Every structure is written in structure tokens, then in C-alpha cells.
Structure 1
Amino acid sequence: MDFKIDTMETVYIPAEDSFLLAENLAIKPGDSVLEIGTGTGIVAMYASKITDKITVTDINLDAVTLAEKNFKKNNIENIEILFGNLFEPVKNRKFDVILFNTPYLPTENGDVIDDNLNYAFDGGLNGRKVIDNFLNEVKNHLNEKGTVQIIQSSLSNNEETLKRLDELGFVSEIAASEHYFFEDITLINSYL
């Protein structure tokens, strides 16, 4: 890892999915970037090596606090941090690139934990609860010829995501994939 980061129990600790996104960023110098669900801020830190127009959001207040601490720890000052769910904090704004390591795990009531960490993985019964809400709004926040990069799992139906993106007018592909135990973690790149 190129950065020093602190972690905490209530914030998702960077794992394979985080690095699959961080190592395959489709960002150009000067792009405006929005990362939804920044967690520790690790993906945004990699993005900061490419562009200085970065906004991050998280629904987990612990994550917002931790990301700010990690940015300072690495002398990164060009990232705007906002608290809120999905696109709420950036209501009337548009970006060139939108990044999201989605909460993609299918969860039943017994799987839900009473803790802020739950936001990081709880995808609802079919793993698509947050993914579908994101897809419903993403085009409203993307500049013309923009790019969306989503991390999700084969457990949350990659084909459904590709179909929805196609219906929204995107050209999409599974740009990278890694197999772990019972699932494939995939990076979907979509272009307007």
C-alpha cells in the first residue's frame, strides 16, 4: 500500500474489493471525481495521485471522521468530505467520474449488525438494495461522456447491473474480476 491509514471497527477495512477499484481507476488528470461510500478513504487517496478535484461521501459518520484523519495523515488536502447517503450531499452537482464500492452482500435479518459497519456490506435480500438506488440516480450526477466504476459481487447479479446500465444509455463492461471462495468480485466500468 502506498499510504498509511488508520482503521476502526465500525468502518470497512480495505480489502480485495477496495484495491481492485484503486488499482483500476479510469480517471484522467483534471477529472472531477465523486466517490460514494469512501470508508477509510483509501480509493480517494489513490485518485488524488491523478486529479485534484475529488469529493467523497459516506453514510457512516465514523467513516467520514476516519477518512478526514487519513487524508491529513498522508498530507492530502484536495479531497472534499461530505456526510450523507448516496447522492444526497451532492444534490445539484455533476462529476466526470463516479466511483462506488457497493454494499453488495445479500443479507437476511439475521445477518444485519447493529453497528455503522453494516452500511458497508448490507445489500438487502438480493444484494441489490443499494446498487439499484445508486443506479436510479447516477446519470443525474454524471457529466456528458462521464464514467462510472462500480465494485460488486457475482452474488448480487452482475448481469442485472449491466442490463440496467444499458437501459440508462451506458456502454458497460466487466473490466476486472477476482475469484474468492464462493463469489467473483467484479469491477464494472460504464461510459456515457
Structure 2
Amino acid sequence: MGKFEIETDDLVYIPSDDTFLLAENLEIKEGQSVLEIGTGSGLVSMYASLLTEDITATDINFNALELAEKNFKLNNINSIKLEFGDMFEPVKDKKFDVILFNTPYLPTDSDDIIDDDLNYAFDGGLNGRKVIDRFINEVSNHLNDKGIVQIIQSSLSDNDRTLDMFDRNGFVAEIAESEKFFFEEIVLINAYKI
């Protein structure tokens, strides 16, 4: 896993190409406060910890928090605060300089849904936007002025709509990086709060 030793768990999203697309392109300056939504194994927050010390990581999957805590200990990282809950719920009164989210972007119908907590990691609803739209509509309330949002999504969940929504919510957004796969393109979108 590159710089870090990491354990995995069947109930937690295993770091994949999308994880590394985010982890290797972080735009974080020293001293900035960072929030990672849906930390999973904790790997993106671990990369962030190389750049700043003020990191909060949340997840709606309790197994993910337990695994992330294990991985932080394994790598002697003790600067990351873990919070359990849905999206911004655990940090509702706080604002951050950088917000990171490898979104659950896969379009899913009832046949695709799995009956355990791993489902949170990829279930984007019918058009892949169930969580993305909610996130974009709420993120501004938790971001400091001149802050940045970095999210991962797929061409299957309508990149243009995401850019347009960020635009309408007072951001300048762009596709910063992308990786083509057989049937989709995974993109990293950077959105800067004006």
C-alpha cells in the first residue's frame, strides 16, 4: 500500500484505484484543518497526516472506524480524530479548510444492494447521486472561506452535474485528475469555495 502498512476487513471498502487517486493528489497545506468523510480503512487520512496534523475522519460504518483506528496505530499515527456518524452529523458545528470524500458513486438498484455495512461504501442510489447531491448541498456550511473540496466520483454518476452543482453553490470546480477503466472513468474533482 505504498507508504503505509494497512489491514483490511470484509465489511470495509478495500483501498482501490479511486482511493489512491485521492490520496496521491491531496491539496493540503501544513496547519490546515481537514475533514475526511467516509474514511473506510483510514488510508486517505493517513496520507493527509503527512501534510497536516489537524484531521478529523468520519464514517457511517462502525467497522470502518475500528479498522481505521487499528491502521493508525499500526503506522504510529495519533493525530487523526475519528467520529462515527452520517456525513457532517458528527461535526455539525465545525468548519474545515479541506474536505475530502471518496463518494459512494455507483448507480445501484435493489439487486445490487448488499445486506451489510459495506453497502455504504458504494451505494449511490439509482443514478449514483443519492449521496453526492446531499453532500454538495451541505458542504459549504462546513467549509471555511477559500477552502477546497476534493471528491472522487465516476463518469457513471454524471460528472457535469457535479461541476454544475458546485458552481451553483458558490464554488469553482474542475476535474483535476482522472483514470479510465473498462466501462467508466473515475475522476477527482477539486472545488474551490469563492
Which residue in the other structure is 2:171 paired with?
170
Partner of residue 122, structure 2? 121
Distance 1:175 1:91 in 2: 28
Report matched runs for 1:179-190 at 5 Å: 179-190=180-191
Q: Tell me the alpha carbon deviations over residues 81-125 of structure 1, each in whole angstroms, 9 at most, x when there is no partner.
A: 000000000011000000000000000000000011000000000
Superposed, 1:64-103 pairs within 5 Å as 64-103=65-104
Task: Determine the C-alpha separation between the residues in 1 that align with 2:134 and 2:145.
Answer: 21
- Give the 3-state SS of the residue equivalent to 2:141 in structure 1: helix
- Corresponding residue for residue 3 of structure 1: 4
Q: Distance in 2 between matches of 1:172 and 1:113?
A: 33
The 5-angstrom pairing of residues 129-144 of structure 1 reads 129-144=130-145
Counterpart position of 1:160: 161
- The separation in 1 between residues aligned to 2:79 and 2:42, in whole angstroms, is 12
State the distance in 1 between where 2:92 and 2:174 align: 27
Distance in 2 between residues matched to 1:49 and 1:159, nearest whole Å:
32
Q: Secondary structure at the match of 2:111?
A: helix
Structure 2 partner of 1:60: 61
Instruction: State how far apart, in whole Å, the 2-side matches of 1:40 and 1:146 are.
Output: 25
Q: Deviations over 1:139-177 (max 9, x none)?
A: 000001000000000000000000000001101100000
Counterpart of 1:105 in structure 2 is 106
Normalising to structure 2: TM-score of the pair?
A: 0.99
Shift of 1:185: 0.1
In structure 1, give the amino acid aligned to 2:14. I
Gaps of 5+ in 1: none
Counterpart-to-counterpart distance in 1, 2:153 and 2:159: 7
TM (normalized to structure 1)?
1.00
Structure 1 residue runs of 4 or more that deviate by more than 2 Å after TM superposition = none
CA RMSD of aligned residues (A): 0.4
* Aligned counterparts of 1:51 and 1:87: Cα–Cα separation in 2: 21
**Could you say which residue in structure 1 is the equivalent of 2:39?**
38
Report deviation, 1:136.
1.2
- Residue type matched to 1:38 in 2? T
- Once residues 138 and 23 of structure 1 are traced to their aligned partners in structure 2, the CA distance between those partners, rounded to angstroms, is 22
1:24 maps to which residue? 25
> Mind listing any 5+ residue stretches in structure 2 that lack a counterpart?
none
Number of the residue aligned with 2:49: 48
